[in-house]
């Protein structure tokens, strides 16, 4: 039994020595580099947030409540009138507030709904807000922005990052009279997607109630661009 165990150990030792000898005789010369690339794109999808809230026409006596259903129908009709498909409007959140009397008896309950409308033209928001009851609009803002071809742009920038890695390896090796060989390894290091929200626009009516808000005047409003940034690590043989 001892002789058999010794034979196995000897075989393993011999194999290790042979492998190390082969690596020493024919080492793989390689270079590892990192390439990066960036791209900024103008968003073509704007997600406009609109919050509607129930209210009383007679606030003092809490009578004649304008319900959320009435306000929602106004909003849907306004969205269609502005030329957007009904499916572009979705509900993001539903909240409510109940006022209680000192006798633990509910006085009234007011519901609010927050909607998000997918748009490609923000200036039509003015048309939409004009069609909805002023007092029923709680607030509006930009929820977020995106681009319809973002996946294609991501592929493009990753390719550019990998190409940058090969270009770097090429000029580094040329500086020492060497050449780039076959690819050995590719690794993604960073996958960054930065889409800042545009600033809240003071000329879009944040609260129409009272009729003090002014219509949009500046038609040259610009958004911060979506920034894509990627890094790719690659290893190449040295010829």
Number of compact structural domains in the chain: 2
Return the top range by mean pLDDT from 72-81, 113-122, 136-145, 192-201. 72-81
Provide the CB-side half-sphere exposure for 174 (13 A, CA). Answer: 6
**Are 39 and 154 contained in the same domain?**
yes
Specify if 218 maps to a domain.
no
Find the CATH number of the domain harbouring 101: 3.30.70
44, 230 in Cβ contact below 8 A? no
Specify if 21 maps to a domain.
no
- pLDDT reported for residue 104: 61
38, 192 in Cβ contact below 8 A? no
**Are 128 and 199 contained in the same domain?**
no
- pLDDT reported for residue 103: 61
Q: For 97-152, how does the pLDDT look when each residue is reduced to its tens digit (9 = 90+)?
A: 777 655 666 677 899 999 999 998 888 888 899 999 999 999 999 888 899 999 99
Cα 156 to Cα 81, 149, 153, 162: the distances in Å are 38, 11, 5, 10
**Are 178 and 120 contained in the same domain?**
no
Banded pLDDT at 8 (limits 50, 70, 90): very low
**Are 91 and 66 contained in the same domain?**
yes
227, 145 in Cβ contact below 8 A? no
Q: How far apart are CA 125 and CA 94, in angstroms?
A: 21
Specify if 22 maps to a domain.
no
DSSP conformational letter for 140: E
**Are 196 and 105 contained in the same domain?**
no
- Return the higher-pLDDT residue of 150 and 220: 150
Q: How far apart are CA 183 and CA 230, in angstroms?
A: 19
User: For residue 118, what are the domain limits?
Assistant: 45-146
State the chain's mean pLDDT as an integer.
80
- pLDDT reported for residue 107: 72
192, 228 in Cβ contact below 8 A? yes
What are the tokens at 15? 């194999």
Specify if 215 maps to a domain.
no
- pLDDT reported for residue 121: 82
Q: For 220-224, what is the mean pLDDT?
A: 59
DSSP conformational letter for 135: G
Q: How far apart are CA 140 and CA 114, in angstroms?
A: 9
What are the tokens at 35? 């390439």
**Are 35 and 151 contained in the same domain?**
yes
């Amino acid at each position: 039994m001892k002789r058999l165990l010794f034979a196995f150990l000897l075989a393993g030792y011999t194999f290790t020595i042979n492998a190390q000898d082969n690596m020493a005789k024919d080492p793989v010369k390689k270079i590892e580099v990192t390439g990066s690339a960036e791209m900024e794109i103008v968003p073509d999808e704007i997600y406009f947030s609109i919050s509607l809230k129930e209210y009383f026409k007679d606030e003092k006596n809490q009578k004649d409540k304008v319900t959320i259903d009435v306000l929602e129908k106004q909003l849907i009709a306004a969205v269609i009138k502005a030329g957007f498909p009904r499916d572009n409007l979705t509900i993001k959140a539903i909240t409510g507030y109940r006022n209680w009397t000192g006798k633990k008896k509910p006085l009234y309950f007011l519901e609010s709904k927050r909607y998000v409308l997918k748009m490609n033209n923000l200036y039509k928001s003015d048309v939409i807000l004009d069609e909805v009851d002023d007092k029923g609009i709680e607030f509006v803002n930009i929820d977020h922005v995106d681009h319809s071809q973002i996946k294609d742009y991501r592929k493009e920038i990753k390719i550019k990052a990998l190409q940058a890695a090969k270009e770097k390896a090429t000029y580094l090796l040329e500086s020492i009279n060497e050449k780039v060989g076959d690819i050995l390894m590719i690794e993604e290091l960073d996958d960054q997607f930065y889409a800042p929200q545009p600033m809240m626009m003071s000329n879009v009516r944040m609260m129409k109630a009272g009729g003090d808000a002014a219509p949009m005047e500046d038609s040259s409003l610009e958004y911060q661009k979506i920034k894509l940034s990627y890094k790719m690590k690659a290893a190449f043989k040295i010829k």
